[in-house]
């Protein structure tokens, strides 16, 4: 294709994307407007929707906001938070205080409530997001209760007697608009690079961290955004019910939101919306069994987890694709790909006297090594010799008990993995750590590196650099996939790929972070001789093509011998040899420790 | 005054300890936070109540009977609701546990009625004044019973074969199975023991505070859970230590600060522990293998 | 015949880990399974042990004759020789054939199969003695158990020195010894060893393999999974080479050790 034609094709592709985007915005706004008109129209005409049902729809809306905001934290980021009611309470009380006690306009009060709740999310998130799993759940539960008790002791807002007489500002319009906005904003967040980082954290936090995601920042961000919307929901709640007291925001309230997202499917916004309808209408449906309502409710919860834990929608979503307005992707740029090349003195990985102690056990003793730019070095030794521990120390997943690790002249001994990855170190894992439930393409996209990537505001508003950069990310990621023979499987779920393809994907993902140093942990494990040969050629090729320095842990001696220019041998945490392959095979100590007498 | 509150705190703390033991043993063996445990405690209180009032069973028999009934309840819950989810993601078990808790609570509300019930008087309350410190026979019996049960549980866990099996399963379930240990049965027994202890706690609370209600499980359960975490979740002596600490702390806060904050203190302690020593006072941090 | 595995298939989700492998172990012999990391060796042992369920194939085991079970403390089981030597059913005496495919893991010890898992997996917070006792969990014959303690301590004198220490404080080599001792405490007919040399210094590996020989000499059959091909082939009678879930080669150990393909791939000659 000539230069001119290529440029034209690109422009044409760009235009196609623009009209699709316009169409989607139109459909969204139109659909929302139509929905509103329909409901209000039916109500006015007194068909189907009477005053009573309109009120219920308002509750549905509030539940949608609570559910979607909680799903952002629990479902998409995988952080099990059980204190969502606390944020709702903050929002409710702040908003109510502002309108009732200070006479502020409703919109401002709602915003203030949301912001106050967001601040609460920050205060709660920073300490608790260090914890994981069960501990995080308990801690958030605790904070939710603490918030409630603090309010209980604030006489200025009524303490245990509560706050009555809140003006009834909440109308269907307010709730509808805000609920719709919540859905759009959260959706835009999820389907953006920031959102991909969140989902990566859910899938495998360690892998995400080593692919450059600052997991702490991302988790806190999700928490704060979720808390904000919960606060707004609280404000709407307060101005609907007109009387609030702390007992309304107890653990049960958090559970209600949890039930909604579990029923709808953790990780599905569509599901949450549907579930909000079901859960809000359920008490009405079960009115006949009023007495047994809660019993049936809890039974449903148990049965659901036993038989359909993925909920109504699992992780599926209603998407524009179903309306024929899916992303039209331009053909990916077939140009060459160059990884970051450093200017200046040849980069070096240097470790000096690095030791690792686990309790009383010295796993690695005095590991000193120097890697020069462009080297391809193998690290071998029996199982348990400390090789993966060395890798963990080089990538920030473990901190050396003593010694120094320097990358490109900078001390990285105590840096966190995402920083180290940013600086140019990438790795693969002994037991493959892909984001198994995500697509092949997403696995690579998450790792994507670039200059001045678009900000969160641009993501939320789908403005600015968002569209062009998303195209770029897509194009470059597809390129990577093609280099590794995976482009025809781009939309497949990573966890379902055959073993060899998964290993290749892990390498592709690591390379997408534009490293200067690549650490491969047993890449040939589980491969037959044929696959191993292909792997060998692949590693050779990427070593040259991407101008990399490579350090490789392997047990497959044939691979190591053919591939590596230099071999370091580790035994029982101690370096027993460091030299060219030919020397290593003849080294007495190495033979005894690893290769075996027969090899001589 | 302080000694007085200490005595009161130990009495309350011993109940928390009894409940906490159940949480910690179950968490230790299958890494599940059994939200429904507090409601087993509540059921224990009610089993005892009905045993004494409806069937006129004397206390000395009612207590063991209640414990056995609760053990059966606990094992049933485990088999029906938790065992099927052993391979499922943790969040599924947690939600199921929450569901069971809600179910038990609401079954209680439905069938036992929401009104709090006074516990039957089984003995005359005798009170002694020891130099300004008031101690009642109920408190003494409570403490004695609780301590006896804790000693019993410790003996079982640390001195018997089945206790060894329990510890083996909690360290490494698969390795234990390779030793011929029936892990499923060991898990059931763990639930049985924990539930029995909680039920005993329930009856003791009934006698001490003289009122029970179907929702009493939540607060006690939550605080006992905090106690287990404070001591080091999964560690048996930790649960006892944590329970006593929580009891004393709560009583002190009521007496010297404000009774409104009595629930908050539990959570405040929880947050502090989670931030500074998440493995608990007696715990050891576990590292993830990369 | 002691153990006969035929056409065994194991899947981890979509991954086909074992693709129809067949092998056997006879009474009293050492058979070894060698292969690269990820080839599926540990999967084989975990499937035999019942920790993983196969998707297809059969696993048959000939349990000792009527009454000869581990927990009975039966006279069948007290052989005069050091260690255990079960009443042999090979001469036509009634031994029963058991299908291992549907057996839960904890039932295997009763049948006389004991596994020393990969990575040792001793119970770190329990003492050496406690760990060994757990190995004899199903047994009730106190006197015989005491004898077996002595046997284990004789095989591993270092464990005797450390018998009251918490197992977690032992070195890697000592933990391996403990794991093997623990496996022996149930007086197995068939001992499954999963990578005993893993993470051990060369001298210790030699020691361990000498012990393996001694255990075998007293009558226990051993199925040995190993990464250290040379040591494994040196101690086994027969061997199978596992490659990405299939058996690539099989034969007597001495033949395989001389096979150039095996030498190239597993014995390090480039």
More confident residue, A504 or A357: A504
Q: Residue C97 belongs to a domain with what CATH number?
A: 3.40.50.300
Nearest chain B CA: its distance from C261 CA (Å): 33
Whole-number pLDDT of residue A6: 40
> Tokens at residue A337, please?
């790909």
Q: Which chains have 3+ CB pairs within 8 A of B?
A: A, C
Mutate to test the interface with B, among A79, A134, A261 (most CBs of B within 10 A): A134
Whole-number pLDDT of residue A69: 96
**pLDDT reading at A17 higher than 60:** no
Q: Could you tell me which chain B residue has the CA closest to the CA of A260?
A: B95
Taking the Cβ of residue C267 and every Cβ of chain A, the question of whether any pair is shorter than 8 Å is answered with: yes
Per residue, the 3-state secondary structure of A159-178, as one string, reads: HHHCECCCCCCCCHHHHHHH
Partner-chain contact B174 C182, CB within 8 Å: no
Number of structural domains, chain C?
A: 1
Nearest chain A CA: its distance from B217 CA (Å): 13
Whole-number pLDDT of residue B244: 93
Per-residue pLDDT of A369-384, as tens digits, reads: 888 888 899 998 876 6
For chain A, report the end-to-end CA distance as a whole number of angstroms: 58
Report DSSP state, residue B284: -
Domain map of chain A by residue range? 16-49, 56-248, 348-435+499-599
Partner-chain contact C38 A592, CB within 8 Å: no
For chain C, report the end-to-end CA distance as a whole number of angstroms: 38
Point out which residues pair with C19 in neighbouring strands: C9
- Asked whether residue B212 is domain-assigned, the answer is yes
Nearest chain B CA: its distance from C114 CA (Å): 7
Whole-number pLDDT of residue A86: 96
> Tokens 């069971």 — which residue?
B100
Contacts of B92 in chain A (CB under 8 A): 305, 309
Q: Which residues of chain C have pLDDT under 50?
A: 66-93, 268-270
Q: Which of C61, B9, C37, C88 is nearest to A532 (CA)?
A: C37
CA dihedral angle for residue B265, residue B266, residue B270, residue B272, rounded to 10 degrees: 20
> Tokens 């808390």 — which residue?
A227
Per-residue pLDDT of A414-424, as tens digits, reads: 899 999 999 99
Q: Could you tell me which chain B residue has the CA closest to the CA of C179?
A: B175
Q: Out of B164, B175, B178, whose CB is closest to C130?
A: B164
Nearest chain C CA: its distance from B28 CA (Å): 13
Partner-chain contact C201 A558, CB within 8 Å: no
Task: Give residue ranges of A with CB < 8 Å to any C CB.
Answer: 359-361, 382-385, 495-499, 522, 524-529, 531, 555-558, 561-562, 571-572, 581, 585, 591-599
Q: Could you tell me which chain A residue has the CA closest to the CA of C196?
A: A383
Nearest chain C CA: its distance from A366 CA (Å): 17
Q: Which chains have 3+ CB pairs within 8 A of A?
A: B, C
Whole-number pLDDT of residue C88: 42
Per-residue pLDDT of B103-156, as tens digits, reads: 999 899 888 888 888 888 777 778 888 877 888 888 888 888 888 998 999 999
Band (A362; pLDDT cuts 50, 70, 90): confident
Taking the Cβ of residue A395 and every Cβ of chain B, the question of whether any pair is shorter than 8 Å is answered with: no
**pLDDT reading at A325 higher than 80:** no
Whole-number pLDDT of residue A81: 92
Q: Give A297's Cβ-side CA count (13 Å radius).
A: 28
Which of A139-148, A584-593, C65-74: highest mean pLDDT? A139-148
Per-residue pLDDT of A78-87, as tens digits, reads: 898 999 999 9
Q: Out of B172, B174, B180, whose CB is closest to C137?
A: B180
Nearest chain C CA: its distance from B170 CA (Å): 10
At A242, phi and psi to the nearest 5? 60, 0
- Pairing of the two strands B127-130 and C113-116: unpaired
> Taking residues B228-249, what's their average pLDDT?
90
- Pairing of the two strands C221-226 and C190-194: parallel
Task: Give residue ranges of C with CB < 8 Å to any B CB.
Answer: 49-51, 70, 104-110, 114-115, 117, 121-126, 130, 133-135, 137-138, 182, 186
Whole-number pLDDT of residue A228: 97
Whole-number pLDDT of residue B127: 83
**pLDDT reading at B220 higher than 50:** yes
Nearest chain A CA: its distance from C15 CA (Å): 6
Strands (E), B125-177: 127-130, 133-136
* Domain extent at residue C40: 3-266
Partner-chain contact A149 B96, CB within 8 Å: no
Helix or strand run (H / E) with residue A361: strand A361-372
Contacts of C115 in chain B (CB under 8 A): 178
- The secondary structure of B61-116 as a DSSP string is HHHHHHHHHHHHHHHHHIIIIIGGGTTS-HHHHHHHHHHHHHHHHHHHHHHH-SS-
Q: Tell me, rounded to whole angstroms, the distance of Cα B112 from its chain centroid.
A: 21
Contacts of C121 in chain A (CB under 8 A): none
Q: Could you tell me which chain A residue has the CA closest to the CA of C205?
A: A593
> Tokens at residue A20, please?
């699709």
Partner-chain contact C199 A385, CB within 8 Å: yes
Contacts of C199 in chain A (CB under 8 A): 382-385, 572
Whole-number pLDDT of residue C74: 34
Taking the Cβ of residue A146 and every Cβ of chain B, the question of whether any pair is shorter than 8 Å is answered with: yes
Whole-number pLDDT of residue C264: 66
The answer to whether A389 and A364 are in contact (CB under 8 A) is: yes
* Domain extent at residue B107: 2-276
Q: Tell me, rounded to whole angstroms, the distance of Cα A467 from its chain centroid.
A: 20
Cβ of A181: how many Cβ atoms within 10 Å? 14
Q: Could you tell me which chain A residue has the CA closest to the CA of C199?
A: A384
Q: Out of A305, A398, A429, whose CB is closest to B92?
A: A305
Contacts of B180 in chain C (CB under 8 A): 70, 106-110, 137-138, 186
Partner-chain contact A557 C268, CB within 8 Å: yes
Partner-chain contact A127 B100, CB within 8 Å: no
Band (A594; pLDDT cuts 50, 70, 90): low
Q: Out of B92, B110, B263, whose CB is closest to A291?
A: B110
Band (A73; pLDDT cuts 50, 70, 90): very high
User: Is the CATH code 3.40.50.2300 the one for domain A348-435+499-599?
Assistant: no
Contacts of A526 in chain C (CB under 8 A): 36-39, 244
Band (A434; pLDDT cuts 50, 70, 90): very high
Q: Out of A74, A133, A298, whose CB is closest to B106?
A: A298
Number of structural domains, chain B?
A: 1
Q: Out of A134, A297, A429, whose CB is closest to B90?
A: A134
Taking the Cβ of residue A142 and every Cβ of chain B, the question of whether any pair is shorter than 8 Å is answered with: yes
ipTM confidence score: 0.84
> Taking residues B170-178, what's their average pLDDT?
89
Q: Residue B135 belongs to a domain with what CATH number?
A: 1.10.3470
Partner-chain contact A305 B225, CB within 8 Å: no
Taking the Cβ of residue A200 and every Cβ of chain B, the question of whether any pair is shorter than 8 Å is answered with: no
Whole-number pLDDT of residue A326: 64
Task: Give residue ranges of B with CB < 8 Å to any C CB.
Answer: 161, 164-165, 167-168, 171-172, 174-183
Partner-chain contact B229 A138, CB within 8 Å: yes
Q: Tell me, rounded to whole angstroms, the distance of Cα B65 from its chain centroid.
A: 17
Q: Out of B165, B172, B174, whose CB is closest to C137?
A: B165
**pLDDT reading at A50 higher than 70:** yes
More confident residue, C66 or A240: A240
Q: Which of A140, A139, A134, A90 is nearest to A115 (CA)?
A: A90
Partner-chain contact C109 B180, CB within 8 Å: yes
Which of A62-71, A138-147, B27-36: highest mean pLDDT? A62-71
Contacts of C186 in chain B (CB under 8 A): 179-180
Whole-number pLDDT of residue C180: 92
Mutate to test the interface with C, among A362, A363, A383 (most CBs of C within 10 A): A383
Distances (CA, A) of A523 to A23, A430, A431, A499, C43: 46, 7, 10, 11, 19
**pLDDT reading at B93 higher than 90:** no
Contacts of A496 in chain C (CB under 8 A): 13-14
- Asked whether residue B287 is domain-assigned, the answer is no
Contacts of C12 in chain A (CB under 8 A): none
d(CA B207, CA B45): 9
Q: Which chains have 3+ CB pairs within 8 A of C?
A: A, B
């Amino acid at each position: 294709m000539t230069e001119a034609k290529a440029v034209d094709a690109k422009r044409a592709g760009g235009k196609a994307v623009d009209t699709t985007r316009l169409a989607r915005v139109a459909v969204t706004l139109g659909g929302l407007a139509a929905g509103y008109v329909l409901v209000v129209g039916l109500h006015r005409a007194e068909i189907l929707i009477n005053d009573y049902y309109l009120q219920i729809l308002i509750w549905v809306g509030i539940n949608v906001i609570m559910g979607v905001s909680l799903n952002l934290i629990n479902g998409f980021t995988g952080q099990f938070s059980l204190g969502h009611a606390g944020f709702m309470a903050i929002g409710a009380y702040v908003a109510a205080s502002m309108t009732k006690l200070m006479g502020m306009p409703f919109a401002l009060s709602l915003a203030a409530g949301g912001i106050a709740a967001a601040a609460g999310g920050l205060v709660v998130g920073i300490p608790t997001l260090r914890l994981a799993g069960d501990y995080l759940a308990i801690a958030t539960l605790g904070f939710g209760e603490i918030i409630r008790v603090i309010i209980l002791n604030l006489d200025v807002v009524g303490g245990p007697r509560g706050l009555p007489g809140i003006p009834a500002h909440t109308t269907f319009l307010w709730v509808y608009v805000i609920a719709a906005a919540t859905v759009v904003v959260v959706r835009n967040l999820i389907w953006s690079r920031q959102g991909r980082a969140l989902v990566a954290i859910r899938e495998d936090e360690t892998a995400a961290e080593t692919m450059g995601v600052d997991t702490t920042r991302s988790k806190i961000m999700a928490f704060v955004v979720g808390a904000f919307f919960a606060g707004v929901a609280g404000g709407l709640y307060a101005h609907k019910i007109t009387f609030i007291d702390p007992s309304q925001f107890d653990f049960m309230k958090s559970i209600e939101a949890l039930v909604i997202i579990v029923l709808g499917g953790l990780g599905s916004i569509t599901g949450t919306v549907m579930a909000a309808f079901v859960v809000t209408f359920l008490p009405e449906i079960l009115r006949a069994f009023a007495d047994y309502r809660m019993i049936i409710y809890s039974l449903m919860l148990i049965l659901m987890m036993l038989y359909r834990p993925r909920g109504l929608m699992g992780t599926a979503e209603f998407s524009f694709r179903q309306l024929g307005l899916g992303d039209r992707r331009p053909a990916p740029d077939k140009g060459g790909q160059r990884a970051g090349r450093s200017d200046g003195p040849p980069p070096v990985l240097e470790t000096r006297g690095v030791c690792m102690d686990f309790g009383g056990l010295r796993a690695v003793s005095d590991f000193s090594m120097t890697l020069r730019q462009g080297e391809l070095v193998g690290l071998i030794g029996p199982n348990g010799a400390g090789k993966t521990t060395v890798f963990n120390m080089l990538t920030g997943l473990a901190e050396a008990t003593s010694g120094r690790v320097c990358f490109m002249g900078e001390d990285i001994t105590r840096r966190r993995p995402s920083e180290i990855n940013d600086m140019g170190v990438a790795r693969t894992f002994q037991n493959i750590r892909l984001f198994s439930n995500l697509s092949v393409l997403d696995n690579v996209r998450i790792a994507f590196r670039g200059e001045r990537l678009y900000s969160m505001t641009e993501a939320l508003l789908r403005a600015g650099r968002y569209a062009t950069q998303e195209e770029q990310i897509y194009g470059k990621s597809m390129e990577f996939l093609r280099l590794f023979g995976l482009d025809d499987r781009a939309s497949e779920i990573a966890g379902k790929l055959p073993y060899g393809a998964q290993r290749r994907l892990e390498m592709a993902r690591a390379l997408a972070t534009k490293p200067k140093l690549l650490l491969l942990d047993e890449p040939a494990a589980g491969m037959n001789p044929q696959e191993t040969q292909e792997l060998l050629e692949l590693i050779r090729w990427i070593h040259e093509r991407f101008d990399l320095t490579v350090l490789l842990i392997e047990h497959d001696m044939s691979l190591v011998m053919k591939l590596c220019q230099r071999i370091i041998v580790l035994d029982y945490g101690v370096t027993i040899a460091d030299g060219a392959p030919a020397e290593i095979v003849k080294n007495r100590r190495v033979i005894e420790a690893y290769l075996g007498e027969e090899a001589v | 005054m302080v000694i007085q509150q200490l005595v009161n705190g130990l009495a309350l703390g011993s109940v928390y300890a009894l409940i906490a033991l159940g949480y910690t043993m179950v968490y230790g063996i299958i890494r599940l936070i059994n939200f429904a445990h507090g409601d087993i405690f509540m059921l224990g209180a009610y089993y005892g109540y009905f045993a004494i009032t409806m069937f006129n069973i004397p206390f000395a028999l009612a207590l063991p009977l209640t414990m056995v009934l609760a053990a059966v309840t606990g094992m049933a819950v485990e088999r029906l609701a938790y065992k099927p989810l052993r391979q499922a993601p943790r969040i599924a078990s947690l939600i199921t546990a929450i569901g069971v808790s809600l179910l038990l609570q609401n079954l209680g509300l439905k069938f036992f009625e929401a009104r709090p019930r006074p516990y039957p008087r089984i003995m005359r309350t005798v009170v002694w004044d020891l130099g300004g410190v008031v101690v009642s026979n109920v408190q003494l019996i409570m403490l004695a019973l609780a301590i006896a049960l804790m000693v019993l549980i410790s003996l079982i866990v640390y001195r018997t074969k089945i206790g060894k099996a329990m510890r083996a399963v909690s360290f490494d379930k698969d390795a234990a199975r390779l030793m011929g240990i029936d892990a499923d049965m060991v898990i059931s027994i763990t639930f049985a023991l924990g539930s029995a202890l909680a039920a005993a706690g329930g009856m003791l609370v009934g006698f001490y505070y003289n009122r029970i209600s179907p929702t009493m499980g939540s607060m006690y359960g939550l605080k006992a859970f905090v106690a287990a975490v404070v001591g080091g979740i999964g560690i048996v002596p930790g649960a006892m230590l944590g329970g006593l600490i929580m009891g004393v702390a709560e009583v002190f806060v009521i007496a010297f600060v404000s009774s409104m904050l009595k629930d908050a203190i539990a959570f405040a302690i929880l947050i502090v522990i989670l931030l500074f020593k998440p493995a608990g006072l007696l715990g050891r941090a576990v590292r993830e293998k990369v | 015949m002691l153990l006969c595995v035929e056409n065994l298939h194991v899947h981890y989700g979509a991954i086909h880990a074992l693709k129809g492998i067949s092998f056997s172990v006879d009474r009293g012999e050492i058979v070894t399974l060698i292969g690269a990391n990820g080839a599926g060796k540990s999967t084989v042992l975990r499937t035999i042990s019942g920790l993983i369920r196969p998707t297809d194939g059969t696993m048959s085991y000939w349990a000792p004759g009527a009454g000869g079970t581990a927990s009975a403390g039966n006279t069948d089981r007290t052989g005069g020789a050091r260690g255990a030597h079960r009443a042999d059913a090979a001469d036509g005496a009634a031994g029963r054939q058991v299908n291992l495919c549907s057996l839960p893991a904890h039932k295997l010890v009763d049948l006389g199969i004991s596994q020393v898992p990969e990575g040792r997996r001793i119970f770190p917070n329990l003492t050496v003695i406690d760990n060994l006792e757990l190995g004899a969990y199903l047994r009730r014959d106190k006197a015989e158990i005491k004898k077996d303690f002595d046997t284990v301590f004789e095989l591993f004198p270092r464990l005797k020195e450390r018998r009251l220490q918490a197992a977690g404080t032992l070195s890697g080599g000592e933990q391996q010894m403990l794991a093997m001792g623990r496996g022996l405490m149930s007086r197995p007919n068939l001992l499954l060893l999963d990578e005993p040399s893993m993470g051990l210094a060369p001298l210790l590996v030699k020691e361990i393999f000498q012990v393996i020989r001694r255990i075998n000499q007293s009558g226990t059959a051993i199925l040995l999974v190993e990464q250290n091909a040379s040591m494994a082939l040196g101690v086994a009678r027969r061997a199978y080479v596992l490659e990405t879930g299939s058996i690539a080669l099989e034969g007597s150990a001495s033949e395989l050790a001389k096979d150039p393909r095996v030498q190239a791939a597993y014995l390090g000659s480039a």
